[in-house]
């Protein structure tokens, strides 16, 4: 089978598994969005899923993502930025990604805010939370989450805060990740209640643990390997 056919078949079979997991969790399929994570895969691989009717694409690296955006120039694609970024580069994300999942510090929020103001647009964002508590991992520390939310609500009128994202520690069994997913859901519920805001999104669940993520309330699944195959670093 050609690589393109393989990708489309992977996508179809993943969609079927997501449908099943959604039914088993008694959730509304409209609430669950698949973001196809294409980092380190070429633009042609993105074209394969787009031609198969899938438009949500996630990228991790600014430079690589910009190159693919330039190659594809496809207004149907909904671009998600899910990687780490230096605050001084953050301005390049604004208006070029429909949703930035990985905002995790005040400096970064301020950089996005100032560019969004300049461009006179509202940039949708999520806050990445370091649920694994591993210091080298991205994401805001749990103790600092509330003040980051407060800062954004008070000072970042051109950012539209839509929810939370997490990258749990890696386990070979999805079940082990479940407590991190439920923790993120509880954090979202707390913030909504305390700050009287609506946060529609929970970005969690990858190739090995999307079943548990759906059960724990995910609205954005970020899945790469199951669609595009293994990455070569």
Ligand X SMILES: *Cc1c(COP(=O)(O)O)cnc(C)c1O
Give the footprint of ligand X on this chain (CB under 6 A). 37, 39, 60, 82, 167, 206-207, 222-225
Query: Between 116 and 206, whose beta carbon lies closer to ligand X?
Result: 206
Query: Between 124 and 195, whose beta carbon lies closer to ligand X?
Result: 124
State both tokens at 77: 């694609």
Helix (H) or strand (E) holding 218: none
State both tokens at 115: 């560019």
Report residue 174 CA to chain centroid gap. 18
Query: Between 26 and 81, whose beta carbon lies closer to ligand X?
Result: 81
Q: How far is the CB of 27 from ligand X (least distance, A)?
A: 20
Dihedrals φ, ψ of 230, to 5°?
Answer: -70, 150
The dihedral sign for the CA sequence 131, 135, 137, 139: positive
Q: How far is the CB of 139 from ligand X (least distance, A)?
A: 10
Query: Between 6 and 192, whose beta carbon lies closer to ligand X?
Result: 6
CB distance 6 to 41 below 8 Å = no
Residue matched to tokens 């509880």? 186
Assign residue 98 a region: left if phi > 0, alpha if psi is -120 to 50, beta otherwise?
alpha
Query: Between 158 and 226, whose beta carbon lies closer to ligand X?
Result: 226
CB distance 46 to 56 below 8 Å = no
Query: Between 39 and 91, whose beta carbon lies closer to ligand X?
Result: 39
Residue nearest ligand X, CB atom distance? 224
Q: How far is the CB of 35 from ligand X (least distance, A)?
A: 8
Question: Treating both helix axes as pointing N-terminal to C-terminal, what angle do 178-195 and 145-155 enclose, rounded to 10 degrees?
Answer: 40
Q: How far is the CB of 43 from ligand X (least distance, A)?
A: 17
CB distance 188 to 199 below 8 Å = yes
Q: How far is the CB of 207 from ligand X (least distance, A)?
A: 3
Assign residue 56 a region: left if phi > 0, alpha if psi is -120 to 50, beta otherwise?
beta
Q: How far is the CB of 115 from ligand X (least distance, A)?
A: 22
């Amino acid at each position: 089978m050609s690589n393109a056919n393989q990708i489309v078949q992977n996508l179809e079979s993943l969609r079927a598994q997501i449908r099943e997991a959604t039914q088993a969790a008694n959730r509304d399929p409209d609430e669950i969005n698949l973001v196809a994570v294409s980092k380190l895969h070429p633009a042609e691989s993105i074209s394969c899923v787009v031609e198969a009717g899938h438009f949500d694409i996630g990228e991790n690296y600014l430079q690589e993502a910009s190159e693919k955006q330039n190659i594809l120039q496809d207004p149907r694609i909904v671009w998600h930025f899910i990687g780490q970024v230096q605050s001084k580069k953050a301005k390049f994300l604004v208006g070029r990604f429909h949703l930035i999942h990985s905002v995790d510090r005040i400096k970064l929020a301020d950089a996005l805010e100032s560019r969004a103001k300049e461009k006179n647009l509202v940039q949708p964002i999520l806050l990445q939370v370091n649920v694994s508590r591993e210091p080298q991992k991205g994401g805001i520390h749990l103790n600092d989450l509330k003040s980051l939310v407060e800062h954004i609500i008070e000072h970042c009128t051109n950012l539209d805060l839509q929810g939370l994202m997490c990258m749990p520690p890696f386990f070979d069994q999805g079940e082990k990740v479940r407590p991190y997913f439920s923790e993120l859901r509880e954090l979202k519920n707390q913030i909504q209640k305390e700050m009287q805001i609506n946060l529609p999104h929970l970005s969690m669940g990858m190739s090995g643990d999307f079943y548990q993520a759906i059960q724990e309330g995910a609205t954005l699944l970020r899945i790469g390997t199951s669609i595009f195959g293994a990455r070569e670093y």
